[in-house]
Amino acid sequence: MIKRISIALFCICLFCAWNGWNGRISRPYVRQSVFVGYTDVTTNMTANNLPAPLITAASSELTAPTYSAYKCFDNVSTSSYGWLSAQLDTNHCWIKYDWGTNRSYTIQKYNITASHRYNERTPHTWYLWGSNNGGARVQLDYQAGYTFTSNETKSFEIPNTSEYRYYLLDVVRVGDGADNDYTSIQEIRWFKGVYE
Predicted confidence band of residue 119 (pLDDT cuts 50, 70, 90): confident
Average the pLDDT over 15-31 and give the result: 52
Residue ranges covered by each domain of the chain: 36-195
Tell me the torsion sign for CA atoms 83, 88, 94, 98.
negative
User: Rounded CA gap, 185 and 188, in Å?
Assistant: 8
Q: Give the tens place of pLDDT for each residue, 26-43.
A: 556 666 789 999 999 999
User: Rounded CA gap, 34 and 52, in Å?
Assistant: 33
Nearest to 192 by CA among 129, 105, 130, 100: 105
Predicted confidence band of residue 74 (pLDDT cuts 50, 70, 90): very high
* Cβ pair 128, 141 in contact under 8 A: yes
What does DSSP assign to residue 105? B
Q: Give the tens place of pLDDT for each residue, 132-180.
A: 999 999 999 999 999 999 899 999 999 999 999 999 999 999 988 888 8
> What's residue 23's pLDDT?
47
Predicted confidence band of residue 25 (pLDDT cuts 50, 70, 90): very low
Tell me if residue 6 falls in helix, strand or coil: helix
Tell me the torsion sign for CA atoms 84, 117, 182, 144.
positive
Model confidence at 13: pLDDT above 90: no
Predicted confidence band of residue 15 (pLDDT cuts 50, 70, 90): very low
User: Rounded CA gap, 29 and 159, in Å?
Assistant: 27
Residues ≥6 apart with Cβ < 8 Å to 39 = 191, 192, 194
Q: Give the tens place of pLDDT for each residue, 42-59.
A: 999 999 999 999 999 999
> What's residue 116's pLDDT?
82
User: Rounded CA gap, 99 and 102, in Å?
Assistant: 8
Select the more confidently predicted residue: 14 or 186.
186
Nearest to 73 by CA among 156, 9, 150, 167: 167
Task: Name the CATH superfamily housing domain 36-195.
Answer: Galactose-binding domain-like (2.60.120.260)
Q: How far from 45 is each of 40, 59, 134, CA to CA, in Å?
A: 14, 18, 20
| Residue 7: Cβ within 10 Å count | 10
> What's residue 78's pLDDT?
80
Nearest to 97 by CA among 65, 75, 129, 140: 129
* Cβ pair 153, 112 in contact under 8 A: yes
pTM of the model: 0.82
56: phi then psi, degrees, rounded to nearest 5: -115, 150
